[in-house]
Amino acid sequence: MNHHLVMLSVFAVGICMFFSCCNKVPDDQIIVEYRIQNPDYETIDFFYSDVFGFDHKQVLTSSDTVVFDTVFTLAPMYLRFSTKESVEFYGEPGSHIVIDLDTGAFLSERINVTGNLRDMNNYLIRLAGFHDEMNWNGGFGRGLEPEAFLELLDSIRMVNEGFLETAKKRNPEHVFWTQQFENIKLNALSRMYYYPMLYRSAKGKYLPKEWYELVKPDYNYLLERPDLLDLGLMQSNLDAYIFNKSLALANKWTDENREALIEGSLSRRNVYEYGTQFVIDSVNNEEVRNFLLLDLAKRAFNRGELKPIENLLVLFKHNCTNNEYVEFVKKEEDSWRKLQPGELAPAVRGETPDGESRALSEFKGQFVFVDVWATSCGPCIGELPSFRELVKAYEDRNIIFIMYSMDDSREDWLNYLENNEMPGIQLISERGMPCDFSETYKFNGIPRYMLFDPDGNIIGTGLERPSYLKQIKYLDTSLDDPKWEKY
């Protein structure tokens, strides 16, 4: 895989129009032209992703706008932009893609793509519109019995394949169409993965084991398909596969060593270390093995602390044969050092419901517990009762609790605060995610729980959830330390 990607700034419209007249786009560039009319959204976000993560840029659309973007890349790639909704599009080096955006009820009604990749991109838009109608990335299949779910999934597959056959007629041999055929299967695997969770949320009970076996996605063939690693859906399915495998192996080890754990003669390793060892021992394809090792290292970093993952990082460096991946992980390790326990917490700000800007550093002299959440985050809302209990349990101690929202919509946030009992100090980021807070503290998912000491230093930036912290009385360890008696 070739992942060389740089995003340039937005040019002045006059300069952009000059570039739009050029007939030949350089072979190492993709030119993307956005013509935005009657915007009913304040910003448009561009995401350019690869196996290492993504670059992000946000552009204001307060009036009709023409925007040019240049992506430097040596390989075909999928890009994504979002307004109130999100859609993927496809680019190749040497191509000029023109995207017209207008207001409309659905994204598929207000977007059109021209240029030399129009068939591919209009197919992706049509597919996105159909998936929106089916609530594909939301509650698709929620509450259905397994047989009905699988029948519906199969009918969606046939519709998707019909779209594909119609769209590829002008250039049927292009590799894009082969990838999209594989994407149909990958999409189905993703829906099967989420089905048990949606079933539980609808029924209030777990899917019976015999039913679970019916809808359990079979990821095994993916382990021998390095040709699909450029696809986002391939990466997300492999991520789900190795996440579940890591949990299963960690739980198995815990069950087998329960007595030693209770006695204190053994301690459990980082959960992703079990997955790392499994990949080293069991995944034969070198490219897929390297990808999974990188995926597990990135997951391990997200907990925030380096000490518990030292052995995992050693295993990674000794077994990953992709030098680009190894260098990435080394740089990540270096960048995480400033976020370790005992380090001075980097400054971040948030806004109160009244619009006042507050900095976390203003609360020095007290312990500060931060719950990073959003009104649209199910797990965040699920932890609210435990968070309320945590706040109440420590209301007479030298600690304050902050709920820091990642909501894109300030109005949604304010409405939720008005209609629900919300403990602690309420703050919101200036622009949802990603934002200064998430970028500074290097997290891309919520909920996130953090603790800072009275001197403004980090205690932890990837804590367990409040339900568990309350159970083990985690906060007492810090609050009862004699060195904080001065406060």
Residue with tokens 């119609």: 166
SS3 21: coil
Domains and CATH numbers, the chain: 1-116 (2.60.40.1120), 134-217 (no CATH), 231-339 (no CATH), 349-484 (3.40.30.10)
Supply the mean pLDDT for the chain: 85
CA gap 174, 188 in Å, rounded: 23
Is residue 477 scored above 90 in pLDDT?
no
Q: In the 3-class helix/strand/coil scheme, how is 154-178 assigned residue by residue?
A: HHHHHHHHHHHHHHHHHCCCCHHHH
Please give the pLDDT value at position 104. 52
Helix/strand/coil for 414 = helix
DSSP 246-310: HHHHHHHHHHHTHHHHHHTS--PPPHHHHHHHHHHHH---HHHHHHHHHHHHHHHHTT--SGGGH
Distance set, CA 339 to CA 170, 326, 435, 450 (Å)? 53, 21, 17, 11
pLDDT digits (tens, 9 = 90+) for 288-332: 999 999 999 999 998 888 998 999 999 999 999 999 999 999 999
Average pLDDT score over residue span 450-473:
88
CA 146 to chain CA mean position, Å: 28
Distance from C-alpha of 125 to C-alpha of 128, rounded to nearest angstrom: 5
Q: Which pLDDT score is estimated for 351? A: 92
Name the one residue in this structure whose structure tokens are 């699920």. 382
Rounded CA separation 144/282 (Å): 35
What is the CB neighbour count within 10 angstroms for residue 22? 10
Tell me which of 437 and 261 has the higher pLDDT.
437
Long-range CB contacts (within 8 A, 24+) of 137-141? 139/198, 139/202, 140/191, 140/198, 141/191, 141/195, 141/198, 141/199
Q: What is the pLDDT of residues 240-262, one digit of tens each?
A: 999 999 999 999 999 999 888 77
* pLDDT (mean) for 258-268: 80
Total count of residues recorded for the chain: 487
DSSP annotation of 457 reads: B
**What pLDDT digit, counting tens, does each position of 338-367 carry?**
999 999 999 888 999 999 999 888 888 999
